[in-house]
Structures are given as structure tokens and as C-alpha cells.
């Protein structure tokens, strides 16, 4: 059934949001409309423009104010319809610049470290803006301290001396509004009926589980959580589970399903199982105190894995190809956690490779730079 929005609009059931292509895209909306969107009553962090569910936007505008913190920049972006605050995180590699001396040149005079330094510097310069410069930012919409803002997943300075980019953008926006955003999202009646009829069916639970996994992943990524217990994330699932019928509604005890609390516990159990299977979390120690470590934020795991690869790559057996994944897994289990899964190790290796701490020589072998 549909939820009433403010202003007389109806909010489509969350099970059907995926049918709207706008939900999966970065929506090019005017800042004025982003500031006016209503937040969903079903899932916090999702907003509605003309019944379209939206949580990611794409904005182009001029920087009108700037605040710098240790880890991020706050840019005020004005697209001529309004001003919105954009939270743009700094890249950790920018802080590593300077101080270091380049190693000897490779044959032909090509300095690898020097070129890498220039590449990182170019990236940094395209992400540090001054007032009056043009910024394009993509990210999720959030409400912080009563103010609407964008938390950037990607942002960069746009060089537009003859305003070609801005003119093209201004010509495309009315077309997008006319053909897409201004047409209300109306799910097919057959889908609406089937979703209501199958509210307790397996398909409904799978859709609910998918949203629960996304909510927990986003929480772990944004808060940079290193370890947690199930009750630390359980509250994230409360808005996803339908509430009990209002008082005065006749109930059928024989056909009554599990309680809301039982549904949340089952949903949390399945969510954690998926994250374990994907290697995004792991349990360092199997104990009654159910603690989960977040793989990408476990610095001790990263250090142990990197040290094992560095030391064992010096051995004659691994000097040519590097260390095999199964050898690394066995060593990490001996030195750090006997419960570490192969999936968690693969996530760790991918993270270390992305940070240039290690490199893959084959699909299953790794060594240090």
C-alpha cells in the first residue's frame, strides 16, 4: 500500500522503487529541487521528487564558499537556482606528497615514482577549488543538523573558459525534467498487487534483504567502522520491516506471522551472513561475545598481510612469481586469526593493491613493489 507524502503526494512502496530507473541513477536535479525534496517515511536517506525515489544526484555549479578540514572540503555550490553544501573527502595519497626522493631512472630516463607523483598531484589540483571556480559533484543526499547536503562520491574542477559545458548542461536539464522527472512514477498495477499479496513471500524477503545489506554497507563505509556487534547495526533495519497493524485492526491469530522483533533478528542474521560470505566482515575470534571486524578498515590485518608478503617474497621459492593466495591465507591464519576466510583475504589483497602496497603478478600471486 502507498504511504502519504506531504502535499498530497503518495509514496510508492519501497519494494517497487527498483522499477523506477531514476532510483539507480545519479539524478541531474536543480539545487532548488534537491533542497525541497521530501524524505521517505519508509527508508531514511531516500527522498522523493514528484514520487520518484532519489538518493544520488549529479550537480554542476560555481563554488561560492569553501571550508577546509583535515579530512575533507566543504564547498558551497550554486547552480543559479540555489546553494547546497557539498562534503568532499580528501584522498589520503595527497598527504604523502613531498619529502621523498625519486629512485633511479628506468632505462630510457623514465622515472616511475616521479610520474606517479605528477599523476597524484594532477588529481589533487583538479579536486582543490577556489571560490568562483566550476565544480561537478556526484554523491548521495543527506540531511545533517537540519540542512540538506551532498556527500560526494566523485567530484572535480571543470575547466570551462568559453562556458561550453555549462551551456550544454543548461540545455539538457529542461529535457530531462520534461521527459523524466516531471512525469510521476507510477508502478504497474500488476506489480503493486503482487507486492501486496506477497508481502510475506520469499521474493519480498529477498528484496528486503537486499536493502538491509546496502544499508549496513553504507553505514560501515561512511562511519569507517573497524569492529561492531550485531546490536550496533540492528537499528538500521528497523525502518525496513513493516510495522504491526494499527490498534483496532482485527487480527487472525492462526495466520499471524512472526513478530516485528523476530523479523528484524532474522533479517540481521541473514544480512551478516551475506557480508561474511562476501568477505566484507569477519570474526577474528569465535566467542560468545559476537564481534565482527570490518575487513577494509582492519589496519592490523593489512599490516600482517603486507609483512607476510614482503618477507616471504624474499625467499627463493616465491622470488619469481610472489606468494600464492593459499600460502598467504595459511600464514595470516597462523599469525593473526584462525577464523579468517578466503573471501576476507581477497578483499584485503584488493585493498592493499589499490593502495599500491602490493602488486599481483598473476591472478593468484602477489608480491611487494
Query: What DSSP state is assigned to residue 129?
Result: -
Are the beta carbons of 305 and 355 closer than 8 angstroms?
no
d(CA 327, CA 231): 35
pLDDT of residue 255: 47
Distances (CA, A) of 188 to 53, 275, 284: 16, 33, 47
Predicted local distance difference test score (pLDDT) of residue 325: 92
H-assigned helices in the chain: 31-36, 112-127, 164-176, 189-197, 202-223, 230-233, 260-277, 299-312, 325-335, 342-354
Task: Check residue 187 and give its pLDDT.
Answer: 66
Instruction: Please report the pLDDT score of residue 150 as a whole number.
Output: 94
User: What pLDDT score was predicted for residue 248?
Assistant: 47
What's residue 127's pLDDT? 77
pTM above 0.85, yes or no: no
**Which residues does the chain have with pLDDT short of 50?**
1-4, 6-8, 98-104, 190-203, 246-249, 251, 253-255
The partner residues of 48 in beta bridges, in order of sequence, read 38, 53
Amino acid at each position: 500500500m502507498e504511504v502519504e507524502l506531504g502535499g498530497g503526494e503518495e509514496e510508492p512502496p519501497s519494494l517497487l522503487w527498483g522499477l523506477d530507473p531514476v532510483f539507480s541513477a545519479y539524478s541531474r536535479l536543480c539545487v532548488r529541487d534537491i533542497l525541497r525534496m521530501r524524505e521517505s517515511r519508509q527508508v531514511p536517506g531516500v527522498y522523493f521528487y514528484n514520487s520518484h525515489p532519489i538518493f544520488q544526484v549529479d550537480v554542476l555549479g560555481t563554488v561560492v564558499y569553501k571550508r577546509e578540514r583535515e579530512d575533507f572540503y566543504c564547498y558551497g555550490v550554486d547552480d543559479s537556482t540555489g546553494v547546497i553544501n557539498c562534503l568532499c573527502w580528501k584522498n589520503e595519497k595527497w598527504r604523502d606528497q613531498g619529502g621523498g626522493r625519486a629512485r633511479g631512472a628506468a632505462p630510457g630516463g623514465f622515472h616511475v615514482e616521479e610520474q606517479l607523483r605528477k599523476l597524484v598531484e594532477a588529481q589533487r589540483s583538479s579536486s582543490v577549488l577556489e571560490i568562483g571556480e566550476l565544480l561537478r559533484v556526484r554523491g548521495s543526499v543527506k540531511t545533517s543538523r537540519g540542512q540538506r547536503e551532498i556527500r560526494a562520491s566523485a567530484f572535480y574542477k571543470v575547466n570551462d573558459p568559453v562556458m561550453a559545458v555549462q551551456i550544454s548542461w543548461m540545455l539538457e536539464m529542461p529535457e530531462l525534467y520534461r521527459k523524466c522527472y516531471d512525469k510521476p512514477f507510477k508502478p504497474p498495477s500488476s506489480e503493486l498487487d503482487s507486492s501486496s499479496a506477497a508481502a510475506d513471500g520469499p521474493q519480498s524477503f529477498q528484496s528486503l534483504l537486499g536493502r538491509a545489506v546496502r544499508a549496513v554497507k553504507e553505514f560501515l563505509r561512511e562511519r569507517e567502522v573497524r569492529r561492531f556487534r550485531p546490536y550496533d547495526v540492528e537499528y538500521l533495519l528497523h525502518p525496513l520491516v513493516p510495522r504491526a497493524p494499527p490498534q483496532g485492526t482485527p487480527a487472525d491469530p492462526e495466520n499471524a506471522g512472526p513478530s516485528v522483533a523476530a523479523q528484524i533478528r532474522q533479517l540481521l542474521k541473514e544480512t551478516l551472513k551475506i557480508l561474511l560470505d562476501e568477505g566484507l566482515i569477519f570474526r577474528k575470534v569465535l566467542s560468545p561475545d559476537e564481534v565482527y571486524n570490518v575487513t577494509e578498515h582492519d589496519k592490523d590485518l593489512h599490516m600482517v598481510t603486507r609483512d607476510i608478503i614482503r618477507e616471504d617474497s624474499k625467499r627463493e621459492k616465491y622470488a619469481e612469481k610472489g606468494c600464492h593466495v593459499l600460502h598467504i591465507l595459511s600464514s595470516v591464519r597462523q599469525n593473526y586469526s584462525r577464523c579468517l576466510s578466503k573471501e576476507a583475504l581477497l578483499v584485503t589483497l584488493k585493498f592493499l593493491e589499490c593502495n599500491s602496497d602490493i602488486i599481483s603478478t598473476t591472478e593468484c600471486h602477489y608480491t611487494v613493489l
